[in-house]
Amino acid sequence: MSDQITIGVLALQGDYDAHRQTLSLLGVRSVLVRKPEELDDIDGLVIPGGESSTFLKFLDREGFLAKLRDFVSQKPAFGTCAGAILLAKEVRNPTQESLGILDIAIQRNAYGRQIDSSIMTGPTKLDGPPLEMVFIRAPRIERTGAGVEVLAEREQHPVLVRQGKILAATFHPELSSDTRVHELFVNMVREQEKPRVQVTR
Ligand code: GLN
Protein backbone atom coordinates (compact mmCIF):
# COMPACT_ATOMS: atom_id res chain seq x y z
CA MET A 1 0.00 0.00 0.00
CA SER A 2 1.44 3.36 -0.98
CA ASP A 3 0.13 4.90 2.22
CA GLN A 4 2.16 2.47 4.33
CA ILE A 5 4.98 4.28 6.08
CA THR A 6 8.00 2.80 7.83
CA ILE A 7 9.35 4.41 10.95
CA GLY A 8 12.84 3.59 12.16
CA VAL A 9 13.73 3.43 15.83
CA LEU A 10 17.38 4.13 16.58
CA ALA A 11 18.44 1.02 18.49
CA LEU A 12 21.99 1.67 19.60
CA GLN A 13 21.00 1.69 23.27
CA GLY A 14 18.17 2.90 25.50
CA ASP A 15 14.47 2.03 25.51
CA TYR A 16 13.88 1.57 21.79
CA ASP A 17 11.69 -1.49 22.24
CA ALA A 18 8.91 0.41 24.04
CA HIS A 19 8.71 2.80 21.08
CA ARG A 20 8.34 -0.12 18.70
CA GLN A 21 5.53 -1.52 20.79
CA THR A 22 3.64 1.78 20.75
CA LEU A 23 4.10 2.09 16.98
CA SER A 24 2.89 -1.46 16.51
CA LEU A 25 -0.17 -0.66 18.65
CA LEU A 26 -0.89 2.15 16.19
CA GLY A 27 -0.56 -0.28 13.28
CA VAL A 28 2.60 1.39 11.97
CA ARG A 29 5.43 -0.63 10.52
CA SER A 30 8.69 0.00 12.33
CA VAL A 31 12.27 -1.21 11.98
CA LEU A 32 15.25 -1.01 14.27
CA VAL A 33 18.09 1.16 12.99
CA ARG A 34 21.56 0.05 14.01
CA LYS A 35 23.61 0.93 10.95
CA PRO A 36 23.86 4.21 9.04
CA GLU A 37 22.69 2.67 5.75
CA GLU A 38 19.44 1.57 7.43
CA LEU A 39 18.41 5.24 7.47
CA ASP A 40 17.93 5.00 3.69
CA ASP A 41 14.84 2.81 3.98
CA ILE A 42 12.72 4.74 6.49
CA ASP A 43 10.29 7.66 6.33
CA GLY A 44 10.83 8.96 9.86
CA LEU A 45 13.03 8.20 12.85
CA VAL A 46 12.46 7.89 16.59
CA ILE A 47 15.50 8.61 18.76
CA PRO A 48 14.73 7.04 22.13
CA GLY A 49 15.80 7.89 25.65
CA GLY A 50 18.95 6.47 27.14
CA GLU A 51 22.20 8.28 27.70
CA SER A 52 22.97 10.92 25.11
CA SER A 53 26.72 10.77 25.68
CA THR A 54 26.65 7.00 25.08
CA PHE A 55 24.63 7.52 21.90
CA LEU A 56 27.31 9.89 20.69
CA LYS A 57 29.98 7.25 21.29
CA PHE A 58 28.05 4.70 19.22
CA LEU A 59 27.42 7.27 16.49
CA ASP A 60 31.08 8.07 16.22
CA ARG A 61 31.76 5.40 13.59
CA GLU A 62 31.20 4.75 9.92
CA GLY A 63 30.02 8.33 9.44
CA PHE A 64 26.82 7.54 11.38
CA LEU A 65 26.55 10.99 12.99
CA ALA A 66 26.97 12.81 9.66
CA LYS A 67 24.42 10.53 8.00
CA LEU A 68 21.98 11.08 10.86
CA ARG A 69 22.45 14.86 10.57
CA ASP A 70 21.63 14.58 6.91
CA PHE A 71 18.54 12.44 7.66
CA VAL A 72 17.03 14.82 10.24
CA SER A 73 17.57 17.78 7.90
CA GLN A 74 15.27 16.09 5.38
CA LYS A 75 12.87 13.74 7.17
CA PRO A 76 10.77 13.76 10.35
CA ALA A 77 12.41 12.82 13.62
CA PHE A 78 11.05 12.39 17.13
CA GLY A 79 13.43 12.46 20.08
CA THR A 80 12.50 11.52 23.63
CA CYS A 81 14.68 12.55 26.56
CA ALA A 82 18.24 11.67 25.44
CA GLY A 83 16.81 11.79 21.89
CA ALA A 84 15.66 15.37 22.50
CA ILE A 85 19.17 16.20 23.72
CA LEU A 86 20.64 14.79 20.51
CA LEU A 87 18.30 16.88 18.34
CA ALA A 88 18.95 20.16 20.20
CA LYS A 89 20.99 23.02 18.83
CA GLU A 90 22.57 23.75 22.20
CA VAL A 91 23.33 21.20 24.94
CA ARG A 92 24.38 22.28 28.43
CA ASN A 93 25.68 20.45 31.52
CA PRO A 94 28.02 19.67 29.95
CA THR A 95 28.23 21.14 26.47
CA GLN A 96 28.15 18.28 24.03
CA GLU A 97 27.92 17.56 20.35
CA SER A 98 24.47 17.15 18.82
CA LEU A 99 22.53 17.04 15.58
CA GLY A 100 21.69 20.73 16.01
CA ILE A 101 18.39 20.60 14.09
CA LEU A 102 15.97 21.71 16.82
CA ASP A 103 16.29 25.34 17.91
CA ILE A 104 16.35 24.83 21.66
CA ALA A 105 18.89 25.00 24.47
CA ILE A 106 18.57 21.98 26.73
CA GLN A 107 20.18 21.19 30.06
CA ARG A 108 20.94 17.58 30.83
CA ASN A 109 19.95 16.02 34.16
CA ALA A 110 18.34 19.28 35.19
CA TYR A 111 16.00 18.14 37.95
CA GLY A 112 18.55 17.10 40.58
CA ARG A 113 18.98 13.72 42.21
CA GLN A 114 15.90 13.53 44.44
CA ILE A 115 13.26 14.41 41.87
CA ASP A 116 15.15 13.21 38.82
CA SER A 117 12.45 10.66 38.03
CA SER A 118 8.76 11.42 38.41
CA ILE A 119 5.36 10.96 36.82
CA MET A 120 3.00 13.88 36.38
CA THR A 121 -0.22 14.49 34.51
CA GLY A 122 -0.66 17.83 32.85
CA PRO A 123 -2.42 19.76 30.11
CA THR A 124 -1.10 19.78 26.56
CA LYS A 125 -2.11 21.27 23.24
CA LEU A 126 -3.00 17.79 21.99
CA ASP A 127 -6.67 16.96 21.67
CA GLY A 128 -8.08 15.09 24.63
CA PRO A 129 -7.55 14.90 28.39
CA PRO A 130 -4.38 15.84 30.33
CA LEU A 131 -1.41 13.66 29.48
CA GLU A 132 0.61 11.38 31.74
CA MET A 133 4.30 12.23 31.47
CA VAL A 134 7.07 9.99 32.78
CA PHE A 135 10.33 11.83 33.52
CA ILE A 136 13.55 9.84 33.99
CA ARG A 137 16.74 11.81 34.67
CA ALA A 138 15.11 14.35 32.44
CA PRO A 139 16.72 17.29 30.71
CA ARG A 140 15.11 20.74 30.82
CA ILE A 141 14.48 22.94 27.83
CA GLU A 142 15.78 26.40 28.74
CA ARG A 143 15.35 28.30 25.50
CA THR A 144 13.17 27.82 22.45
CA GLY A 145 13.69 29.61 19.14
CA ALA A 146 10.95 31.52 17.32
CA GLY A 147 10.00 28.57 15.10
CA VAL A 148 9.46 26.18 17.99
CA GLU A 149 5.92 25.43 19.10
CA VAL A 150 5.49 24.47 22.76
CA LEU A 151 2.88 21.71 23.13
CA ALA A 152 3.26 21.08 26.88
CA GLU A 153 5.12 22.55 29.85
CA ARG A 154 6.25 21.56 33.31
CA GLU A 155 6.95 24.37 35.80
CA GLN A 156 7.04 26.90 32.95
CA HIS A 157 9.61 24.90 30.99
CA PRO A 158 8.62 23.26 27.69
CA VAL A 159 8.49 19.45 27.82
CA LEU A 160 6.96 18.72 24.41
CA VAL A 161 7.98 20.84 21.43
CA ARG A 162 7.66 20.80 17.69
CA GLN A 163 9.58 22.63 15.01
CA GLY A 164 8.26 21.67 11.60
CA LYS A 165 8.99 17.99 11.09
CA ILE A 166 10.96 17.65 14.32
CA LEU A 167 9.22 16.61 17.54
CA ALA A 168 10.85 16.30 20.96
CA ALA A 169 9.74 15.35 24.46
CA THR A 170 11.82 15.56 27.61
CA PHE A 171 9.62 12.80 29.05
CA HIS A 172 8.92 9.23 27.87
CA PRO A 173 5.55 8.91 26.08
CA GLU A 174 6.48 5.33 25.12
CA LEU A 175 6.18 4.34 28.80
CA SER A 176 2.56 5.48 29.14
CA SER A 177 -0.47 3.79 27.64
CA ASP A 178 -1.61 7.08 26.09
CA THR A 179 -0.49 6.99 22.46
CA ARG A 180 -1.31 10.57 21.44
CA VAL A 181 2.28 11.83 21.16
CA HIS A 182 3.25 8.94 18.89
CA GLU A 183 0.06 9.49 16.88
CA LEU A 184 1.15 13.08 16.33
CA PHE A 185 4.54 11.93 15.06
CA VAL A 186 3.00 9.29 12.80
CA ASN A 187 0.77 12.00 11.32
CA MET A 188 3.82 14.23 10.79
CA VAL A 189 5.52 11.42 8.87
CA ARG A 190 2.36 10.77 6.81
CA GLU A 191 2.07 14.49 6.00
CA GLN A 192 5.67 14.57 4.82
CA GLU A 193 5.20 11.46 2.70
CA LYS A 194 1.98 12.61 1.01
CA PRO A 195 3.41 14.12 -2.17
CA ARG A 196 5.81 11.14 -2.37
CA VAL A 197 8.67 13.13 -3.79
CA GLN A 198 11.25 10.57 -4.77
CA VAL A 199 14.72 11.69 -3.74
CA THR A 200 17.37 10.23 -5.97
CA ARG A 201 20.90 10.12 -4.69
N1 GLN B 1 20.13 11.83 31.46
C2 GLN B 1 20.13 11.35 30.11
C3 GLN B 1 21.08 12.16 29.24
O4 GLN B 1 21.58 13.14 29.66
C5 GLN B 1 18.75 11.34 29.53
C6 GLN B 1 17.86 10.44 30.33
C7 GLN B 1 16.85 9.68 29.55
O8 GLN B 1 16.89 9.59 28.33
N9 GLN B 1 15.94 9.06 30.24
O10 GLN B 1 21.34 11.82 28.14
Q: What is the pLDDT of residues 34-83, one digit of tens each?
A: 999 999 999 999 999 999 999 999 999 989 999 999 999 999 999 999 99
> 199 lies in a domain?
no
- Please write the tens of the pLDDT for every residue from 147-163: 999 999 999 999 999 99
> 79 lies in a domain?
yes
pLDDT over threshold 50, residue 1 = no
Q: Torsions phi, psi of 160, nearest 5? A: -140, 120
Q: Give mean pLDDT, residues 13-35.
A: 96
**pTM higher than 0.75 for the full model?**
yes
Q: Which of 157, 174, 182, 193 is catalytic?
A: 174
Ligand 1 proximal residues by C-beta, below 6 Å? 49-52, 81-82, 85, 108-109, 136-137, 139
> 19 lies in a domain?
yes
Q: Determine whether 172 is an active site residue.
A: yes
Q: Give mean pLDDT, residues 97-115.
A: 89
Q: Give mean pLDDT, residues 172-180.
A: 97
Closest-lying ligand 1 atom to the alpha carbon of residue 52: 10
CA 128 centroid distance within chain: 21
The total number of structural domains in the chain stands at 1
Of 109, 134, 171, 176, best ligand 1 pocket probe by most atoms within 8 Å of the beta carbon: 109
Q: In terms of residue numbers, what domain contains 18?
A: 2-193
Q: In this prediction, what percent of the chain has a pLDDT beyond 90?
A: 89
Q: What CATH number is attached to the domain comprising 135?
A: 3.40.50.880
d(CA 170, CA 173): 9
| Ligand 1 center–CA 155 separation, angstroms | 19
Q: Determine whether 174 is an active site residue.
A: yes
> 200 lies in a domain?
no
Q: Torsions phi, psi of 180, nearest 5? A: -65, -35
Collapse the DSSP code of 137 into the 3-class scheme (helix H, G, I; strand E, B; otherwise coil) and give the result: coil
| Ligand 1 center–CA 188 separation, angstroms | 24
For the chain, what is the mean pLDDT? 94
